[in-house]
A and B are shown apart, each in its own frame.
Chain A
Amino acid sequence: MKIQEYQAKQIFQKYEIPIPRGQVALNASFVRQIAEDLGNKVVVKAQVLVGGRGKAGGIRLADNPDRAEEIATEMMGMEIHGLSIHKVLVEEAIDINREIYLSIGTDRMNASPVIIASQYGGIDIEDTSEEAPEKISRIPIDPLAGLCDFQIRGLAVSIDLPRKHWKQFTKIANALWMIYQNNDASLVEINPLVISEQNGLIALDAKMTIDDNALFRHPELADLRDLDMEDPSEVEAQKYGITYIHMNGNIGCLVNGAGLAMATMDILKLKGGEPANFLDIGGGASAEKVSSALRIILSDSQVKAVLINVFGGITRCDEIARGITTALAEQKRKKTPMVVRLVGTNANEGYTILKKHKLPVARSFVEAAEKTIALAGVKTK
């Protein structure tokens, strides 16, 4: 789960990482008031969970409160990469002498936390890791030993940080490690970390991602989730313990298991179709879960046909069939064609339950895909 910049900065503040003075606003007149309180020039920053805000006009400088209000009026309701702006962060503009990069994240390949620094602030860390890895210093952190001062000094030297800033840099790096650990973050990033002549180091931006699997031990962070930033169908599916991801095609998929669900989407594409979604009902799904899943799939008006592909292990195919029956009964006017493939535990019982609905069935994966694509009105490859 990603959290907004202003939320991450509130956490930074708790851990005494210096941030610019500022406040978040939901409307333009409040932006004006904040700008007046701050005095001087301010920066208005759109709060959307997407990269490349600056380039898309989501970060703008205002010379005075009038201008700040104007900018905020323009921004509110504007969209960046499909996400509309509801909140802006208004901050004092900072004099910048130099920008650096600092983050702590999870290095998946080496299965270890890693602290990363670069003397080039504002860089895209991913592009730079590939194109100019020499510009980046990475030091793995042993989670049992924690981040050690010698490692931070090593980083300071590698990015050519003047000695007078070392003490503050060490404090910030340690705070970042505490934030990473205490909040089960998978990334905490300051990009850029600004060196200002008068004020020392200041975190100009803040990015933070929390490990979804750890939210059970951080209810206060789970509350920060911004549902406006998510697809409503995906949110609805989660209520039932279903993983649903919306795609742009016209063939709905209902599958048990993440790998099988991906494989089902892939074969549809391979045979000339376009999947409308990824959907994993998980293991041992009940009939209620299946009918809820179908309801979500069919709420997408693009869907012309549905492929139900279930391999019964712990999941019982008769339960699946019962769920399909319920969903079919709810379909009053328009009937979306469905192809059913049931294999494994109680598959025959499942087919018996479905007999009266005369749904097309398929024995193989390929047959299932081809039949569904044909019903969706697309030519198979």
Chain B
Amino acid sequence: MSILINKNTRLLVQGITGKEGLFHSELMRKYGTNIVAGVTPGKGGEWALDEKIPVFDTVETAVRATEANASVIFVPAKFAFDSIYEAIDARIPLIICITEGIPSMDMLKIKSILKTSETMLIGPNSPGVLTVEECKAGIIPGSVTIPGSVGVVSRSGTLTYEILYAMKEKKIGVSTCVGIGGDAVTGTGFVEMLSLFEQDPNTEKIVLIGEIGGKEEEMAADYITTEMTKPVIAYIAGLTAPQGKRMGHAGAIIEGRAGSATQKIELFKKAGVKVAEYPEDIPALL
């Protein structure tokens, strides 16, 4: 068991013939992911990945032919709105968007469209989702973790790999690792993921990796206090970040008084969450 994806996931790759899409599709397949189709407008009828994966012009035809039930998006930011909307329109239950740099207005429109849809969107600017030894949808390196019972949810990429690796060194394994994305406006937040982990019988503890900016951590702290029975361990990056500067991620910015790391850490502590001082400190707290 796991959350979001598993060995039964039939994955579609939007942007499969692009440089990024192709590179990561190969890694995903090597990990054992069941990639059933790819979409690249204008390349329908071709085959990708050693001529084994059919490429379609549209998401709808791909879904009809292959019963894909999740999509991972690698298309450039300029075209990402169109791709996400297309996948929502084709009623794909789960979309994972890796693309970084999507205009905020495009995401605000997507959020409005999602209100009337059953689809769950992870990302954008996400490293993806990894259910260990079952399915990898995105770019999280499979080698940095081993199977286990810790659920991991994060706003970051390499920092997450660092933490997965530190856990692996101490023989602590993971059920599913989810990157919710580093943008200011994302499809889903910490709270939805915490709720899925809470319901997942194979997840016993959760590691939450947050950072400065926005109110995701604040809402998570609230949710943990009122709804969670499983222990949560957190790490928040950006204690030394100056105010008003965007720290690499579009969403990592302390705006006025809102979004500082100190504030988030304090709220987590109040919610009974153990907060790690640095990434390698996490295994000891598990």
**Which residues of A line the B interface, CB within 8 A?**
106, 108-109, 111-113, 126, 130, 142-144, 181, 184, 186, 211-214, 216-217, 243, 245, 247, 255-263, 265-270, 275, 278, 280, 283, 311, 313-315, 343-345, 364-366
A211 to B107, alpha carbons, bound, how many Å? 12
- Which chain A residues border B257 with CB–CB below 8 Å? 126, 130
A313 to B154, alpha carbons, bound, how many Å? 17
For the complex of A and B, the 3 pairs showing the least CB-CB separation, nearest first, are: A258-B248, A259-B156, A257-B158
- Which chain B residues border A143 with CB–CB below 8 Å? 105, 108-109, 112
B278 CB to nearest chain A CB (Å): 5
Is the CB–CB distance between B156 and A260 below 8 Å? yes
Is the CB–CB distance between A108 and B108 below 8 Å? no
Is the CB–CB distance between A259 and B209 below 8 Å? yes
Q: Which of B105, B161, B252 contacts A262 (CB 8 A)?
A: B252
Is the CB–CB distance between A259 and B215 below 8 Å? no
29 contacts between A and B (CB under 8 A): A108-B185, A108-B215, A111-B108, A144-B109, A213-B102, A217-B103, A243-B248, A255-B158, A257-B248, A258-B248, A259-B158, A259-B159, A259-B252, A260-B159, A262-B159, A262-B238, A262-B241, A263-B235, A263-B279, A266-B239, A267-B278, A311-B165, A313-B139, A314-B23, A315-B158, A344-B141, A344-B144, A366-B278, A366-B280
B128 CB to nearest chain A CB (Å): 11
Residue of B nearest to A283 (CB): B157
Q: If A144-B112, A258-B248 touch, does A211 touch B156 (CB 8 Å cutoff)?
A: no
A247 to B107, alpha carbons, bound, how many Å? 31
Residue of A nearest to B277 (CB): A270
Most buried by B among A186, A217, A262, A267: A262
B229 within 8 A of A: no
Is the CB–CB distance between B141 and A278 below 8 Å? no
Most buried by A among B144, B248, B261, B277: B248
Residue of B nearest to A314 (CB): B139
A48 CB to nearest chain B CB (Å): 15
- Which chain B residues border A245 with CB–CB below 8 Å? 242, 245, 247
A255 to B157, alpha carbons, bound, how many Å? 12
Is the CB–CB distance between B238 and A106 below 8 Å? no
A99 to B33, alpha carbons, bound, how many Å? 61
B234 CB to nearest chain A CB (Å): 13
Is the CB–CB distance between B252 and A266 below 8 Å? no
- Which chain A residues border B101 with CB–CB below 8 Å? 213
A300 to B65, alpha carbons, bound, how many Å? 58
Is the CB–CB distance between A213 and B240 below 8 Å? no
B7 within 8 A of A: no
Residue of A nearest to B106 (CB): A214
- Which chain A residues border B203 with CB–CB below 8 Å? none
- Which chain B residues border A344 with CB–CB below 8 Å? 141, 143-144, 161, 165
A269 to B237, alpha carbons, bound, how many Å? 12
Q: If A243-B248, A258-B248, A258-B252 touch, does A111 touch B111 (CB 8 Å cutoff)?
A: yes
A207 to B279, alpha carbons, bound, how many Å? 39
- Which chain B residues border A268 with CB–CB below 8 Å? 240
Interface residues of B in 69-128 (CB under 8 A from A): 77-78, 101-105, 107-109, 111-113
Q: If A262-B237, A267-B278, A278-B241 touch, does A184 touch B104 (CB 8 Å cutoff)?
A: yes
Is the CB–CB distance between B238 and A266 below 8 Å? yes
Interface bracket on B: 35 or more
Residue of A nearest to B251 (CB): A108
Is the CB–CB distance between B108 and A213 below 8 Å? no
- Which chain A residues border B154 with CB–CB below 8 Å? 259
Is the CB–CB distance between A278 and B247 below 8 Å? yes
A68 to B57, alpha carbons, bound, how many Å? 64
Q: If A259-B209, A263-B159, A269-B239 touch, does A214 touch B103 (CB 8 Å cutoff)?
A: yes
A184 CB to nearest chain B CB (Å): 5
Is the CB–CB distance between B162 and A260 below 8 Å? yes
B45 within 8 A of A: no
A4 CB to nearest chain B CB (Å): 17
Residue of A nearest to B114 (CB): A111
B152 within 8 A of A: no
A109 to B215, alpha carbons, bound, how many Å? 6
Is the CB–CB distance between A266 and B78 below 8 Å? no
B48 within 8 A of A: no
A216 to B185, alpha carbons, bound, how many Å? 19
A182 to B107, alpha carbons, bound, how many Å? 15
Q: Which of A213, A275, A364 contacts B250 (CB 8 A)?
A: A213
A364 to B280, alpha carbons, bound, how many Å? 8
- Which chain B residues border A269 with CB–CB below 8 Å? 239-240
Q: If A108-B184, A111-B107, A130-B257 touch, does A266 touch B278 (CB 8 Å cutoff)?
A: yes
Most buried by B among A109, A212, A265: A109
B180 within 8 A of A: no
Residue of A nearest to B101 (CB): A213
B17 within 8 A of A: no
B155 within 8 A of A: yes
Is the CB–CB distance between B211 and A259 below 8 Å? yes
- Which chain B residues border A181 with CB–CB below 8 Å? 105
B249 within 8 A of A: yes
A235 CB to nearest chain B CB (Å): 14
A154 to B160, alpha carbons, bound, how many Å? 46
- Which chain A residues border B162 with CB–CB below 8 Å? 260, 263, 311, 343, 365
- Which chain A residues border B238 with CB–CB below 8 Å? 262, 266
Interface residues of B in 186-244 (CB under 8 A from A): 209, 211-212, 214-215, 235, 237-242
A376 to B249, alpha carbons, bound, how many Å? 29
Residue of A nearest to B78 (CB): A216
Residue of A nearest to B184 (CB): A108
A269 to B107, alpha carbons, bound, how many Å? 35
Q: Which of A211, A257, A258 contacts B105 (CB 8 A)?
A: A211
A343 to B154, alpha carbons, bound, how many Å? 20
- Which chain A residues border B108 with CB–CB below 8 Å? 106, 111-113, 143
Is the CB–CB distance between B248 and A278 below 8 Å? yes
B256 within 8 A of A: yes
Q: If A258-B182, A259-B182, A311-B158 touch, does A144 touch B104 (CB 8 Å cutoff)?
A: no
